[in-house]
Amino acid sequence: MSDKPLVLLVDDDPGFLTANSLLLEHAGFRVITAESGRAGLAAARANKPDVVVLDVMMERPDEGFILARAIRADRRLAGVKVLVVTAAAQRYQMLFEPDELWLPVTKVIEKPTAGDELVKEIANLLAVPQNSEGRK
C-alpha cells in the first residue's frame, strides 16, 4: 500500500471533483471521489481515507451535514478527519463552525477556495495529531 495520504472528495459538482483531484494528486495525495452523501459514506467505509472533504448542499440542502454525522458515528472511521467545504454560509448568510452536537468535523471552510488553499488545509489537518484536533 502507498504511503501517500488518501483523500475522499464528496461533492455533487463534477467540475469541483475533477479540478481538485488534479490539484491534490499533483500535491502528492491519492484521491477518490463520490457525488452524493450516500456514495460518500460507502466510499469512506470501504477505503478508510485519511481525510474526507465534503460539500454540504447536494441533493438535499443538509446532505453534507448528515454525512459528517454518519462518519463520526461510525467507530471504524474514528480516525478520519473531516473537512467541510461549503457555499451554505453564503446561501444562508450563516457562519458554520465545528460543534460536537450537530457538526462533529475537524474544520469548516467556505467556497470558493482559492488556488492551492485546499491542499494547504488538508496538509495542515494531517499535521495535527489525532488527539489534538481543533474541534469544539
Partner 1 sequence: MSPEVIPPCQAGCPVHTDAGRYARLVAEGRYDEAFDVITRTNPFPSVCANICQRLCEKKCRRGQIDAPVALRALKRFVVQHVGRRESVKASESESSKNPDTPGTGYALTRPPSHAPTDLGSRSRVAVIGAGPAGLTAARDLALLGHRVSVLERLDRPGGMLNVIPQYRLPRPALDADIDAILSAGIELKCSCEIGRDVSLGDLLGSAGASPSRSFDTVIVATGLSRSRGTAVPGFGAQRFTAAIPWMADIWLGNKVDVGRRVAVIGGGNVAVDVARTARRLGADYVAMICLESRAEMPADPIEASLAEAEGIHILPSLALKRVFNHEGQIAAIELMAVPSVFDATGRFAPTYDPARIRTLKVDMVILSIGQAPDRSWAAGSGIRPNERGRIVADRDTHITSNPRVFLAGEALRGPGSAIQAVADGHHVADVVARFLATGQVTKPPADQAVPLPNFPPDVAAKLRKLHPVATEAEPFASSEPSLDEAAACREAGRCLGCLSGAAIDETKCAMCLTCYRVCPLDAIEIGEAMKPNPSRCQACGICASVCPANAIRLTTWDSAQSGFSIADCRLPIADPESQIENRESTNSVAVRCRHAGATVGSPDRARLDEPAVALLDVPCLARLKAIDLLRLFRQGYRDVSLYPCAAENCKYGKAWENIQSVVEFVRGILSRSWPEAKLDLRVPEGAAAQK
E strands, 6-78, are 6-10, 30-34, 51-54
Beta bridge partners of 107: 83
Residue 57 touching partner 1 (CB under 8 A): yes
d(CA 97, CA 108): 6
Residue 130 touching partner 1 (CB under 8 A): no
Q: 116: which DSSP letter?
A: T
Residue of 17, 34, 55, 65 interacting with partner 1 (CB under 8 A): 65
- Stretch near partner 1 under the rule CB under 8 A, chosen from 9-17, 27-35, 43-51, 85-93: 85-93
Helix (H, G, I), strand (E, B) or coil at 93: coil
Residue of 25, 59, 74, 99 interacting with partner 1 (CB under 8 A): 99
Block residue for cell numbers 502528492: 28
Residue 128 touching partner 1 (CB under 8 A): yes
Residues lying near partner 1 in the complex (CB under 8 A): 56-57, 60-62, 65-66, 68, 88-89, 92-97, 99, 101-103, 107, 109, 124, 128, 134
